[in-house]
Amino acid sequence: MAGIRVLVVDDSVVIRKVLSEALSADLEIEVVGTAADGSIALSKIPLLQPDLITLDVEMRLKNASAASMPAPTISSSSHSPWRS
């Protein structure tokens, strides 16, 4: 059984998949779920009880912030200032 339970929150299905696979490669980490936005994440948290949440800071639907999450949160972004 993994030690750290993680919920991955990102509006991009590709990023959710990449992050989930990368995190799951570590035997100490268990990705317990994913969510496409903050509202979905907030509804899943009571059931999944993650120890940590990854949260995209640039989701199109901004309906939750790291401050509203009831678990430690790591903010992430796939945004690049060099993109056209």
Q: Reply yes or no on whether the pLDDT at 67 is more than 60.
A: no
Q: Reply yes or no on whether the pLDDT at 74 is more than 70.
A: no
Q: Reply yes or no on whether the pLDDT at 69 is more than 80.
A: no
CATH class in words for 4-76:
alpha beta
> In which band, very low, low, confident or very high, does the pLDDT at 77 lie, cut at 50, 70 and 90?
low
Return the SS3 of 37.
coil
3-state SS of the chain: helix, strand, coil percent to 5? Answer: 30, 25, 45
| 26: phi then psi, degrees, rounded to nearest 5 | -90, 125
- pLDDT tens string 14-54: 989 999 999 999 999 999 999 998 889 889 999 999 999 99
Please state the rounded mean pLDDT for residues 1-9.
87
Distance in angstroms (rounded) separating the CA atoms of residues 56 and 38 = 9
All structural domains of the chain with their residue ranges = 4-76
| pTM of the predicted model over 0.75 | yes
